[in-house]
Amino acid sequence: MIYVVSAGEPAAAKVIRTGVHPITELNSGEARTVLSKLQTIMGKNLPAWLAKFLGQSPLDRIRCQALMEEEAE
């Protein structure tokens, strides 16, 4: 993943073809803040785009969600 302020479609497409996912953040702040937000997201339910980027299949995501719900009970 790479955080950017802006990227045109042709540039974003080139980056994606290399296996890197650009994330546009206009007002992201310091790197520590951005990393902290990402870690928080990854510690909970992953958004579908992030799970796909990390190589999780839809079935894996459903299984993971079910396990997390069982552990929370």
Give the mean model confidence (pLDDT) for residues 52-71: 74
* 45 in Cβ contact with 26 (< 8 Å): no
Judge whether residue 26 has pLDDT over 80.
no
The CATH homologous superfamily of the domain defined by 2-72: Dinitrogenase iron-molybdenum cofactor biosynthesis domain (3.30.420.130)
pLDDT mean over 37-66: 75
| Of 51, 55, 32, nearest in space to 41 by CA | 51
DSSP assignment letter at 56: -
Q: Given a cut of 80, is residue 47 above it in pLDDT?
A: no
pLDDT at position 6 over 80: yes
Q: Is the pTM of this model over 0.85?
A: no
pLDDT of residue 22: 86
User: DSSP 3-state assignment of 3?
Assistant: strand
Query: How far apart (Å, rounded) are the C-alpha atoms in residues 4 and 27?
Result: 10
